């Protein structure tokens, strides 16, 4: 069997149903195998989008999404997508072609040392040097990508290794000596965590992205309701807890909800679940850790103590840790009355729900996103691009069904949301998928419209359009005395015509009524839809915690 | 604070690159590094010395431990560890009494003489980094022409 055939067989054994990719000279032997297997190939227009599609597929299905690229520029084009998956712990397997073994190191045509380049942004990388190594590389690669803290795995296969015939063994058993993805949570540490939680006056649960990755939704909700503790999330953890729940205060951070930032600022104890305490979440590391006790649950031991000094750490899958905590709490006496602290949290929430000033125009961000929420079924999946629209989504779009909201939160990759939405839709064709987009980001991967249309993957682009790199513009207005450099997009392109030129549906919505009709038309459509929603280019995202300042110094709309 | 880390890693190409890259990417520094194959040729032993406060050393150990090619990481206790570095100095010689003096110094540190020439002498020293530094200070007035060091190799004493 050839190496290329072995690759496909091994991937079929992993349950791979589709691959996002783009062919080239060095991966043609693999591409030829699509003619002889049941795996569907979804053609992209740029390899970066293939990686984002695989990422979106992986986050939604929790099984690695797969992308293919050729050597050299094909491989370097997927690097941004790999780095994005690594920053957000998304399971992915990227397979690149490489020049033949004998050509490696000779600066061959379309040669790049992708193993060396990708090393800092992959969970692991393989470069099989003989065809017979391929089955085990694939088996181990998928295992590494999806276990423990998930991440991207790169398999770089020289062209001759794809072509060579060899006897193949597809192993079920294998050993990776230096990889220990699972640690059983230490029950004694869970006991210590409970002792702290029950003896503090103002505890808060901070749910991070790890809560979503481990699907600990029911456990999180049970714990919050049992202890009657308010729940905030990181931005990556948005939607780990239903945002219409009375205990939910929403995301904290640079553009966190005012009530969430206020309450975590007053908290004397934080139960942090599956979070790495990003600077965007905590404001300043020193201020955040100094002011409260921190209990940290995480699957990755290296996250313990990296950004925050903790009182107790529980290493292990957070769902398993929460289950142990719930079990141990069964026998503990608990308060049954609402505490003054919880009352305060609820009052703070309702105060800000009523009093946060929003843009007065009809097409202000809050109003259009609330309209989307009103019309979109709760089980729909939402992705976002990166920028103002992303933060408005965080502020004004409530996630009802846990684990249905995905964004490039760590690397902050503009252009992620649209291809990721296509990947998400490939994983869940039964639900609507919407990319809440800004024009600046959408420009970066809009050619994925061709994929959405031709491959019949109808997603919706909810394009909040200020014809501007809006977040940069906001920083220039705020910190650079309105010197607006490099942010104006002109009135280019016409997004309705752009969508139509790809065979997609394009609708412009200039009033809330038009927007309502557009959303309904998009939900009913069999093809991808771009809803172009022109907004006031001067609208800022507020509240705003300036970088390097503590959460309490939040700038509020005036 | 100075720390000695002992790593057992897969004996495969590219591992040294990955380990040293982690230090660079996470803003840590390597003081010295030595690598050699172990009794079982599937594995190599890396000895890395580094500086940092407790929190930083803890993070270095955790990040190394997280690497899939790293089988085992230990932070060694200096007092329970045999650690040595090999160092070769070429020292300038002005006259016969310089030679005798250097010979005496080297002897005091258990060093060996090589390549004895009219204007220079080589001294090979196997010692702790502190001892090497002390010898270097003694030799400096003569003029150190060149120096090559292996980095620290270390093994924990048994029964600890």
Whether residues B62 and A302 touch (CB distance < 8 A) is answered with yes
**Tens digit of each residue's pLDDT (9 = 90 or more) over A388-401:** 999 999 999 999 99
Directed axis angle between helix A187-198 and helix A318-329, to 10°? 60
Map residue A79 onto helix, strand or coil: helix
Q: Which two tokens stand for residue B128?
A: 């702790």
Domain at A358-541, CATH from 3.10.580.10, 1.10.3720.10, 3.40.50.2020, 3.40.50.970: 3.40.50.970
- pLDDT-derived band at A558 (thresholds 50, 70, 90) equals confident
Q: Which residues pair with B45 in a beta bridge?
A: B8, B36
| Domain residue spans of chain A | 3-163, 187-354, 358-541
Q: Which two tokens stand for residue A438?
A: 């800004």
**What mean pLDDT do residues A484-498 have?**
96
Closest CB to B63 among A144, A177, A302: A302
Confidence at residue B134, expressed as pLDDT on a 0 to 100 scale: 96
Confidence at residue A135, expressed as pLDDT on a 0 to 100 scale: 98
CA distance A445 to A44: 10
Nearest CA in chain A to B55: A305
Nearest chain B Cα distance for residue A181, angstroms: 9
**Tens digit of each residue's pLDDT (9 = 90 or more) over A303-325:** 999 999 999 999 999 999 999 99
Does residue B68 sit at the A interface (CB-CB below 8 Å)? yes
Mean pLDDT, all residues of chain A: 96
Mean pLDDT, all residues of chain B: 95
Confidence at residue B160, expressed as pLDDT on a 0 to 100 scale: 53
- The DSSP 8-state label assigned to residue B141 in this structure reads G
Between chain A and chain B, the number of residue pairs with CB atoms below 8 A apart is 41
Alpha-carbon torsion (A113, A110, A414, A40), positive or negative: negative
List, in sequence order, every beta strand (DSSP E) within A252-345. 269-273, 293-298, 312-315
Cα A215–Cα A216–Cα A218 angle in degrees, nearest 5? 110
> Best of B10, B14, B68 to disrupt the A interface by mutation (most A CBs within 10 Å)?
B68
Does residue B119 sit at the A interface (CB-CB below 8 Å)? no
CA distance A127 to A133: 9
Q: Which residues pair with A529 in a beta bridge?
A: A460, A505
* Backbone phi and psi for residue B71, each to the nearest 5 degrees, phi listed first: -80, -35
Confidence at residue A278, expressed as pLDDT on a 0 to 100 scale: 94
Does residue A19 sit at the B interface (CB-CB below 8 Å)? no
For A460, the enclosing helix (H) or strand (E) is: strand A460-465
CA distance A379 to A274: 23
The residue assigned the tokens 């019309």 is: A375
Beta-carbon contacts of residue A514 (< 8 Å; ≥ 6 apart): A508
- A479 has pLDDT over 70: yes
Confidence at residue A290, expressed as pLDDT on a 0 to 100 scale: 86
CA distance A229 to A219: 14
For residues A528 and A461, the answer to whether their CB atoms sit within 8 Å is: yes
Whether the bond into A524 is cis, omega within 30 of 0: no
Burial B45-82 (b: 16+ CB within 10 A, else e): bbbbbbebeeebbbbbbbbbbbbbbbbebeebeeeebe
- pLDDT-derived band at A335 (thresholds 50, 70, 90) equals low
Q: List the domains of chain B with CATH numbers.
A: 2-76 (3.30.70.260), 82-156 (3.30.70.1150)
Confidence at residue B121, expressed as pLDDT on a 0 to 100 scale: 96
Map residue A495 onto helix, strand or coil: helix
Q: What is the ipTM of this complex?
A: 0.92
Cα radius of gyration (chain A): 24
For residues A130 and A90, the answer to whether their CB atoms sit within 8 Å is: no
CA distance B131 to B135: 6
Does residue B18 sit at the A interface (CB-CB below 8 Å)? yes
Distance, CA of A69 to chain centre = 22
Do A358-541 and A187-354 have the same topology in CATH? yes
Rounded to two decimals, what is the model's pTM? Answer: 0.96
Does residue B157 sit at the A interface (CB-CB below 8 Å)? no
* Backbone phi and psi for residue B82, each to the nearest 5 degrees, phi listed first: -90, 120
Whether residues B68 and A179 touch (CB distance < 8 A) is answered with yes
Q: Which residues pair with B76 in a beta bridge?
A: B4
CA distance B52 to B69: 24
CA distance A119 to A83: 10
Q: Kindly report the CATH class assigned to A3-163.
A: alpha beta
Protein fold of A187-354: Rossmann fold (3.40.50)
Whether residues B59 and A176 touch (CB distance < 8 A) is answered with no
Cα A546–Cα A552–Cα A353 angle in degrees, nearest 5? 95
**Tens digit of each residue's pLDDT (9 = 90 or more) over A254-303:** 999 999 999 999 999 999 999 999 999 999 998 898 889 999 999 999 99
Q: Give the closest residue to B67 by CA, choosing from B40, B96, B46, B52.
A: B46
């Amino acid at each position: 069997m050839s190496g290329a055939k072995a690759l496909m067989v091994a991937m079929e054994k992993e349950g791979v149903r589709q691959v996002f990719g783009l062919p080239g000279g060095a991966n043609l032997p693999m591409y030829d195998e699509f003619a002889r297997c049941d795996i569907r190939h979804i053609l992209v227009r740029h390899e970066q989008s293939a990686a984002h599609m695989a990422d979106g597929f992986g986050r939604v299905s929790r099984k690695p999404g797969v992308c293919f690229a050729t050597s050299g520029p094909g491989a370097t084009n997927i690097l941004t997508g790999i780095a994005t998956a690594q920053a957000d712990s998304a399971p992915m397997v990227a397979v690149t072609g490489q020049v033949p073994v004998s050509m490696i190191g000779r600066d061959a045509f379309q040669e790049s040392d992708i193993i060396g380049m990708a090393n800092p942004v992959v969970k692991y990388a393989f470069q099989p040097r003989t065809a017979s190594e391929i089955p085990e590389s694939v088996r181990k690669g998928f295992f590494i990508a999806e276990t423990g803290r998930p991440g991207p795995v790169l398999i770089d296969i020289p062209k001759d290794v794809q072509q060579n015939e060899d006897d193949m063994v597809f192993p079920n058993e294998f050993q990776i000596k230096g990889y220990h993805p699972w640690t059983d949570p230490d029950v004694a540490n869970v006991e210590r965590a409970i002792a702290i939680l029950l003896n503090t006056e103002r505890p808060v649960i901070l749910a991070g992205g790890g809560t979503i990755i481990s699907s600990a939704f029911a456990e999180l909700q049970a714990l919050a309701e049992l202890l009657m503790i308010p729940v905030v999330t990181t931005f990556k953890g948005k939607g780990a807890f239903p945002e219409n729940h009375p205990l939910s205060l929403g995301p904290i951070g640079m553009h966190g909800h005012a009530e969430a930032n206020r309450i975590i600022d007053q908290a004397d104890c934080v139960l942090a679940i599956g979070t790495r305490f990003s600077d965007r979440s905590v404001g300043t590391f020193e201020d955040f850790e100094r002011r409260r006790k921190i209990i940290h649950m995480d699957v990755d031991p290296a996250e313990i103590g990296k950004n925050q000094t903790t009182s107790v750490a529980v290493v292990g899958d957070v769902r398993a840790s929460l289950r142990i905590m719930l079990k141990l709490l069964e026998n503990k006496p608990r308060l049954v009355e609402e505490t003054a602290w919880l009352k305060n949290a609820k009052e703070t929430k309702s105060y800000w729900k009523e009093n946060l000033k929003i843009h007065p125009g009809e097409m202000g961000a809050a109003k259009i996103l609330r309209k989307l929420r009103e019309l979109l079924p709760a089980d729909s999946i939402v992705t976002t691009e990166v920028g103002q629209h992303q933060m408005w989504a965080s502020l004004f779009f409530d996630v009802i069904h846990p684990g249905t909201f995905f964004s490039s939160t760590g690397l902050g990759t503009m252009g992620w949301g649209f291809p990721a939405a296509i990947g998400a839709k490939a994983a869940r064709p039964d639900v609507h998928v919407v990319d809440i987009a800004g024009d600046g980001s959408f420009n970066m991967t809009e050619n994925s419209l061709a994929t959405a249309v031709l491959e019949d993957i109808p997603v919706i682009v909810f394009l909040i359009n200020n014809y501007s790199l809006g977040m940069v513009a906001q920083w220039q207005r705020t910190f650079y005395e309105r010197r607006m450099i490099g942010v104006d997009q002109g009135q280019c392109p016409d997004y309705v015509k752009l969508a139509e030129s790809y065979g997609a549906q394009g609708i412009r919505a200039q009033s809330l009524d038009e927007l309502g009709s557009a959303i309904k038309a998009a939900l009913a459509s069999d093809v991808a839809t771009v809803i172009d929603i022109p907004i006031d280019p001067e609208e800022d995202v507020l509240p705003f915690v300036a970088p390097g300042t503590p959460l309490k110094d939040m700038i509020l709309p005036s | 604070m100075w720390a000695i880390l002992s790593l057992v890693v897969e004996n495969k190409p590219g591992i040294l690159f990955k380990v040293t890259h982690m230090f660079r990417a996470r803003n840590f520094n390597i003081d010295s590094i030595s690598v050699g194959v172990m009794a079982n040729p599937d594995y190599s032993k890396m000895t890395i010395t580094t500086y940092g406060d407790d929190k930083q050393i803890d993070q270095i150990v955790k990040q190394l431990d997280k690497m899939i090619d790293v089988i085992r990481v230990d932070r060694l206790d200096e007092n329970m560890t045999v650690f040595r570095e090999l160092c070769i100095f070429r020292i300038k010689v002005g006259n016969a009494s310089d030679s005798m003096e250097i010979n005496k110094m080297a002897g005091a540190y258990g060093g060996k003489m090589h390549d004895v020439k009219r204007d220079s002498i080589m001294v090979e020293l196997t010692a702790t980094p502190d001892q090497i530094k002390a010898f270097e200070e003694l030799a400096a007035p003569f003029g150190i022409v060149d120096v090559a060091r292996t980095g620290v190799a270390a093994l924990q004493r048994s029964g600890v």
